[in-house]
Amino acid sequence: MPSDLTPLFERLQQRGGTTRTEADIQSDVRGLLLHGELDLEDSQVDVHLEAQAGDQKRIDVEVGFTVIETKKDLRRAGAVDAAVPQLAEYVQRRTDHFQQRYVGILTDGADWHLYTLTPAGTVERVSTFELRSAESGPALVDWLSSVLATTQGITATPREIKARFGARSPGFELDRAALRALWAKHGSEPEVALKRELWSKLLHTAFGEHFQSDVEQFIEHTYLVITAELIAHALLRVDVASLDPATIVAGGQFSQAGVHGVVENDFFDWPVELPEGGRVVRAIARRVAQIDWSTAKHDILKHLYESVISPEQRHSLGEYYTPDWLASAVVSEVVDEPKAQRVLDPACGSGTFLFHTVRRVAEELEADGVPNRDVLEHVTAHVLGMDIHPVAVTLARVTYLLALGSERLNADRGDLHIPVFLGDSVQWQILDTLSQDGLTVYTDSGNFALLASELYFPRAAMGDPARFDKLVTDLTALATNRDRGSKPIPKLGNVVRDLALSTADRAAIDATFSALCDLHDNHRNHIWGYYVRNLARPLWLSDDGRVDRIVGNPPWLSQRFMDVQMRAAFRTRSQARNLWVGGRVATQQDLAPFFLVRSCELYLKAGGRFGMVMPYGTLISKASEGFRSGEWDVAGAAQFGDVWDLDSVRPHIFPVPSAVVTGTYAGLGTATATPLKGATEKWSGEVPEGTFDATQLVTREPVAPFQRPPRSAWSPYHDDKFTQGATIVPRLLHVVTETAPTGSLGLPAGVVNVVSARTAQEKQPWKDLPSRGPAPVERVFVREMHLGSTLLPYRLVEPWRVVLPIEPLTHALIGDSETRLAAYPRLQAWWTAGEAIWTGNRRASTTQTQQEWANYSSKLTAQLPGAALRFVYSKSGSRLTGAVLADADAIVDHTLYWGAIGSHDEGRYLAAVTNSQAMQTLVEPLQPRGNLGARHFDLYPWELPVPRYNASNPDHTALAALGARAEEVAAAVPVAAGTSFVSARGAVRTALEFDGVASEIEVAVRGLLGLT
């Protein structure tokens, strides 16, 4: 940025005053546009002051497709509201006259407001920038550059991608607003709606109930795909800013250039079919043309995706994109003979692993002097990708082109087929729709009821991928290009002549073509060719296209987040492959191990190697025991190799700890499996975001494999003692504090007034709902409840209070019976109101009543009536903590585990064990890890050899006596109201150490557990 702009920025941000006029602001805005490195001269874009707008009106500043209105001080009351209608008129006139998308900026030099035109002819503000000081001047130039799209030759870096295309860029806000307006106007039209329906179906298959089919997400995906397709054109040195939008999204230029499988009509071409949609594509194209895409050094489109899709959305779908340095390391490790091996990434995402594999193979071939034409032919035959996410597939195809590079693409070459396929790698759907005879695609699925017909393709027509592609393309083209409702339907002689089909198969193709014609006549056709071709892709690989190497990062999705149908299929198919553990850990079973096994089963040659990034829990969790055995039953066997523990790499690579698992697929037969026994290498070091090569930044140290205790050595407390507490959530429905009665008459005996007890830890949507009460409730239904925050070492503090429909005499849940509730009118009023809140705000996939949810898996009724003595310990946290609970009526929340005990001494014995550092050290390797370290305890403490308490054993009674002494020390520690439980626990542990009892307990526990 030229240093002489500093005075200009200082003038612009000093709005108001008596000497500075609007003409002065106009002049400075023009100066900024001309001298702010926006490349206006090189792009031949003029900056006009007082441009004629008709009716003797003048636009203050006009540059490119942007109208700028200047005002003296936008802080004045009504200044913005008065200026906006005039700005809207100017933008509308320019849009109508030039048939291009114009935008408006309103500024006083310091405040900059960006507006886009709405279908109603008004303008909507989509972005703002405040020039706070001269130091923020360069950021203002970046903001203007994203709006004007005039700067050229920008290096393709993550920073520039985020600044010009990301969710916080003004360009993105303009494009999203335009796409929203298009959808609002045309989204109900049959062919447009169909594309969203099929998009939703694919992603629901991939991600289960965590995928929410909302319009906003479809719009974001549309933006990403159109942007990626424009980038692909730019790599072929096509002038995207001047190309017809419909030609861009259909891939016409690619067909002419002999590059296939990159851009095609898909779910996201709907804007160009609409009258106003081309303007959106042209606006994105202008920004794409600013970047020199040949300068991309890594998977740049990963940053495009992550800059648009929110972290919360990506986390909910398990979308964790691999950093380049890690993908490069995995490829280098697994693809050890790059010139000879065929490589597949079956969950390719945006194409990071493909990028590094393509570069590795191409560079080795070029080093041997292989001509460019042969390099490209070899690479595209040997490096393949697949993903079920349609946005990811488009990004990966463009990433593949980026890896090949603009120079190679524009040098001597033949036709190219980019082998990145939209497909269901696990083949959830294909298992249901594929028979020995062919593939059936149902267009009237139970979820969407698109149209009562089906598309069937015999196996004989599917043997050759290129020929099958042509068949489907020709069928859909014939169906689409005929007049709707025309009879008779055209003959297919030329289309099927070269397929050598039997009479029966010819008849099947005729029936399919008739169905396509019906779909077209009902405005439901346009997408089926694309959908069918891609659905069949996995079949070609699994039939006869097996590969030598599999690399990648599979989807991480816990069983509890799958929808009902997917959950059932996951369990059945996991059981057939020795992967299902079930029981208490069923909900923790993850899709990632199944995905790896299934990928080997379908696509990897016997003797081929795999290397995949996996959740760290795969190495240690009970839920992954079958996977680690390497004995996968119908899927064959594996011999695991090196395993990298990445948990000590900073910053954290993913929201949960990760590892890399490698191995050899032994296939079906008599081969012996080699189990996975833990990490063989520990990686540590600081690797800044955006690092391309981390070789010099990480330390790799060999580690001894972790040995899990055999089941025969587990504590007897594991199976018959401890249970997780009840799910008394959301807190808004149940947790209360007592308050004084309203009015002067008071309340009847046995009735209390309650209000909601709110905390900062509440989650959406509950945290934004109003508090409940004050309301009267019969006192017998207000119970005390203990949870993680009321538990300290050897001690419980003030419990919470909850309203629950537990009958006082029978200790049974009243149930949802109106008759039984009517016996307690105040409880009935409270509970009925709560049910309405619950029903109106629970997740769409949840069908339980609020009582059924509180009693999930009978964890509430299991406590009724409560035992006189219970031992409770923390479900999770940084330190295992336990204490005796001597209140039979108290409820234990799901953040604690509880078990009935026979005596106070048994509880003190267990408290001494669970609060000890020795137990903490031993249990930590068994725990699942989060990015804050090992977190959940669950039943893992009892996978250690903790003997059952025996009052006749002097070692046990001595430890119980130490526990009693620790109770006294803990009880004497003052805990002021409002003290966090973390601080309170720390204070108790400090007191125990100061007293000396903590060190005595350590010695005793180490002896008990056989530690030296």
Check residue 405 and give left, alpha or beta (phi > 0: left; psi -120 to 50: alpha). left
Residue scoring higher pLDDT (448 or 527)? 527
pLDDT at 440 over 80: no
Q: What is the mean pLDDT of residues 572-594?
A: 88
- Average the pLDDT over 669-690 and give the result: 89
* Phi and psi at residue 654, to the nearest 5°: -135, 170
In whole angstroms, what is the distance from residue 557 CA to residue 139 CA?
39
Q: Which of 343-347, 455-459, 615-619, 761-765 has the highest mean pLDDT?
A: 343-347
H/E segment holding residue 507? helix 503-521
CA angle 460, 466, 472 (to 5 degrees): 70
Q: What is the pLDDT of residue 431?
A: 41
d(CA 618, CA 565): 24
Task: Give the chain's largest Cα–Cα span.
Answer: 104
Beta-bridge mates of residue 738: 754
Residue 589 near residue 580 (C-beta atoms within 8 A): yes
Angle at 780 between CA 774 and CA 786, to 5 degrees: 85
What pLDDT is attached to residue 987?
A: 95
978 Cβ contact list (under 8 Å, min separation 6): none
On whether the CB atoms of residues 801 and 782 are closer than 8 A, the answer is yes
Nearest to 81 by CA among 63, 106, 100, 62: 106
Round the average pLDDT of the chain to a whole number and report it. Answer: 86
Residue 405: pLDDT over 80: yes
Integer Cα distance of 161 and 28 in angstroms: 29
Give me the domains of the chain, ranges plus CATH numbers. Answer: 3-149 (3.90.1570), 177-422 (no CATH), 428-542 (no CATH), 554-706 (no CATH), 723-1008 (no CATH)
Residue 335 has pLDDT above 60, yes or no: yes
* pLDDT for 961: 97
385, 396 Cβ separation under 8 angstroms: yes
Q: Is the pLDDT of residue 434 over 70?
A: no
Rounded mean pLDDT, 543-566: 83
329: buried, middle or exposed (CB in 10 Å: 19+, 13-18, 0-12)?
Answer: buried
Give the tens place of pLDDT for each residue, 603-633. 999 999 999 999 998 998 888 999 999 999 9
The CA-based dihedral angle spanning residues 359, 365, 369, 373, taken in that order and rounded to the nearest 10 degrees:
-80
pLDDT score at 20: 83
As a whole number of angstroms, the distance between CA 257 and CA 618 comes to: 45
Q: How far apart are CA 435 and CA 549, in angstroms?
A: 28
- Percent of the chain whose pLDDT exceeds 70: 91
Mean pLDDT of 490-517: 82
Burial class (CB in 10 A: 0-12, 13-18, 19+), 458: buried
pLDDT digits (tens, 9 = 90+) for 42-53: 555 678 888 888
Closest among 615, 981, 564 to 793, alpha carbons compared: 981
**Cα separation, 825 vs 842, whole angstroms:** 25
> Quick one: angle between helices 591-603 and 564-575, nearest 10?
60
- Tell me the C-alpha to C-alpha distance, in Å, between residue 463 and each of 419, 537, 545: 17, 11, 11
What is the per-residue pLDDT across 220-255, written as a single tens digit (0 to 9) for each? Answer: 999 999 998 888 888 888 887 777 888 888 888 888
What is the C-alpha to C-alpha distance for residues 91 and 88, in angstroms, rounded to an integer? 5
Query: What's the pLDDT band for 432 if we cut at 50, 70, 90?
Result: very low
Quick check: 82 pLDDT over 70?
Answer: yes
Total number of residues shown for the chain: 1012
pLDDT tens column, 508-522: 888 888 888 887 777
Q: What is the DSSP letter of 907?
A: H
Residue 816 has pLDDT above 80, yes or no: no
- What pLDDT does residue 199 have? 82
Residue 758 in this model has a pLDDT that exceeds 70: yes
The band of 872, judged by pLDDT with boundaries at 50, 70 and 90, is very high
How would residue 450 be classed by pLDDT, with cut points 50, 70 and 90? very low
The CB-based long-range contact list for 993-1002 (8 Å cut-off, 24+ gap) reads: 995/965, 995/969, 997/962, 997/965, 997/966, 997/969, 998/966, 1000/962, 1001/912, 1001/915, 1001/916, 1001/959, 1001/962, 1001/963, 1001/966, 1002/916, 1002/917, 1002/918
Query: Of the given ranges (159-168, 288-297, 307-316, 670-679), which has the lowest mean pLDDT?
Result: 307-316
Secondary structure (3-state) at 736: strand
pLDDT at residue number 955: 95
Contact 692, 328 (CB under 8 A): yes
Centre a 10 Å sphere on the Cβ of residue 706 and count the other Cβ atoms it contains: 13
As separate numbers, helices (DSSP H) first and strands (DSSP E) second, the chain gives: 38, 35
Buried b (16+ CB within 10 A) or exposed e, 167-190: eebbbbbbbbbbbbbbbeebeeee
What does R_g of the chain's alpha carbons equal in angstroms? Answer: 33
pLDDT of residue 435: 52
Q: Is the pLDDT of residue 2 over 60?
A: no
Q: What share of the chain is helix, strand, coil (3-state, %, to 5)?
A: 45, 20, 35
| Nearest one of 277, 32, 46, 268 to 142, comparing CA atoms | 32
Among 136, 135, 94, 91, residue whose Cα is nearest residue 112: 136
State mean pLDDT over 208-218: 74
Q: Is the per-residue pLDDT at 969 higher than 80? A: yes
Q: What pLDDT is stored for residue 449 in this prediction?
A: 35
pLDDT band at 315 (very low <50, low <70, confident <90, very high): low
| DSSP letter assigned to residue 943 | G
The identity of residue 1009, as a single letter, is L
Question: What is the pLDDT confidence band of residue 451, given thresholds at 50, 70 and 90?
Answer: very low
Amino acid at 493: G
The region that residue 39 occupies, defined by phi over 0 for left and psi between -120 and 50 for alpha, beta otherwise, is left
